[in-house]
Amino acid sequence: MQKIRLEIVGLTSGQTHGSYTLILGEEVGEKKLPIIIGSFEAQAIAIEIEKIVPFRPMTHDLFVSFCKTFQIEVVEAIIYNLLEGVFYSKIVCKQNGQTYEIDARTSDAIALAVRFNCPIFTFSNIMDSAGIVIEDEEEENAGPGRPSTPEPPARPGTSKQDDYSTLSTAELEELLDKTLAVEDYHKAAIIRDEIQKRKG
């Protein structure tokens, strides 16, 4: 499988409590990978991107200090699998010439990658199944920290969310296109994950 380098394109609010969408884009290519993350993880990524120094170290900053104290270097973060809408990631570390791979939530792996200024990767099969193409005009509006303005998706378990299960795959794909057209990346990620579950 081809390894693809990603960069952070944007971080948008889904306008539902505690929910954000991290948008990663191919360094060379047009596809974007929207990943739904929690508010704490979104904050951890955003403050590092904006170079904001918190009054006291956050959890990820503590991890960085721990690594530097014991000469551990995080060299890359890899999103290596996607199962039923859940992304699986790991960080690759080096210490005393030895390389170690440590399982991590994707949001944590990205938060550490931005702190260690190391590359983020995924594989072509994940981009093929979960990547979406965002038109140039939409991409310009999806900068880091810019909230999305359309109607937010329903919370999991509500009737609106359950309605996705009643739609055909073709209807979901059409809805995905419409959702992308109005720049609701959070809802697009949920619809994409529903499509992915059916393919799995």
Interval 156-191: pLDDT, tens: 333 344 468 888 888 888 888 888 777 677 777 888
- Looking at the predicted structure, is the pLDDT value of residue 155 above 60? no
Q: Name the one residue in this structure whose structure tokens are 């390389």.
A: 99
CA 33, CA 13: separation in Å to the nearest integer? 15
Summarize pLDDT for 77-100 with one digit per residue, the tens.
Answer: 999 999 988 999 999 999 999 999
CA 134, CA 131: separation in Å to the nearest integer? 10
In percent, the amount of the chain with pLDDT more than 90 equals 48
Beta bridge partners of 180: none
Task: State the fold for domain 3-147.
Answer: Bifunctional nuclease domain (3.10.690)
In degrees and rounded to multiples of 5, residue 67 shows phi and psi of -60, -45
Given this model, what pLDDT does residue 4 score?
97
Summarize pLDDT for 102-134 with one digit per residue, the tens.
Answer: 999 999 999 999 999 999 999 999 999 999 986
pTM for the model: 0.73
Given this model, what pLDDT does residue 126 score?
96
- Looking at the predicted structure, is the pLDDT value of residue 146 above 50? no
